[in-house]
């Protein structure tokens, strides 16, 4: 079933085009923009029966796609040590120590996505393992689950 055409008008249409930052209307066919500009020009771009959508003064912004990211969690993961796939206490210690070099005194070093089942010899690291890696910074490891 073909998607009906829509004509959006009556609001603030932002184009993100520096030369023409605003438009009067937008014509859409099958989910794709086919015309942006004066309302008459957009109406003439329609092929047949279309649905007029009066924005009633509201804004229409292009290019927003909800990929359902959680930005705060993304930032949290980017700011900490990724321990996914570490194969030994030594590799875990090396990653944590490398991250500790950029942490100011008193700051924590946090390792995420740890799974001891990835170790060549599965076991949980101890406080002593972490202290041996870096005794100058507090460290914490969070399992993947």
Domain count along the chain: 2
Mean pLDDT of 9-17: 93
- Nearest 5°: the CA angle 86, 90, 93 is 85
43 and 90, same domain (yes or no): no
For the chain, the residue count is 145
Same domain, 80 and 119: yes
Residues 53 and 105 in one domain: no
- Domain residues for 117? 71-143
Domain boundary among 31, 60, 89: 60
Residue 138 belongs to a domain: yes
Q: Could you tell me where the DSSP H helices lie in the chain?
A: 39-44, 71-79, 89-100, 127-133
Last residue of a domain, one of 23, 40, 60: 60
φ, ψ at 2 (rounded to 5°): -75, 140
10 falls within a domain: yes
Nearest-5° Cα angle at 92, 88 to 98 = 145
What are the structure tokens assigned to 43, written together?
A: 């109406």
- pLDDT range class, residue 57, cuts 50, 70, 90: very high
**Is 89 found in the same domain as 34?**
no
Long-range contacts from 26-32, C-beta under 8 angstroms, 24+ separation: 26/60, 29/3, 29/5, 30/2, 30/3, 30/5, 31/3
Average pLDDT over residues 29-51: 93
Residue 66 has pLDDT above 70, yes or no: no
pLDDT > 70: percent of the chain: 94
**What is the pTM for the complete model shown?**
0.51
* pLDDT digit string, tens, across residues 83-120: 999 999 999 999 999 999 888 888 999 999 999 999 99
Residue 65 falls within a domain, yes or no?
no
Beta pairing, strands 109-114 & 139-143: parallel
Asked whether residue 66 is assigned to any structural domain, the reply reads: no
């Amino acid at each position: 079933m073909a998607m009906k055409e829509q004509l959006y008008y009556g609001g603030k249409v932002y184009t993100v085009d520096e030369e023409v930052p605003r438009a009067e209307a937008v014509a859409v066919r099958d989910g794709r923009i086919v015309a942006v500009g004066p309302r008459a020009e957009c109406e003439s771009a329609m092929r047949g029966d279309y649905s007029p959508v009066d924005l009633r003064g509201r804004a229409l912004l292009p290019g927003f796609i909800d990929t359902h990211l959680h930005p705060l969690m993304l930032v949290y993961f980017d700011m900490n040590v990724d321990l996914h796939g570490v194969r030994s206490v030594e590799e875990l210690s090396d990653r944590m120590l490398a991250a500790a070099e950029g942490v100011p005194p008193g700051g924590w070093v946090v390792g995420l996505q740890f799974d001891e089942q990835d170790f060549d010899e599965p076991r949980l690291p101890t406080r002593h393992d972490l202290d041996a890696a870096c005794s100058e910074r507090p460290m914490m490891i969070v399992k993947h689950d």
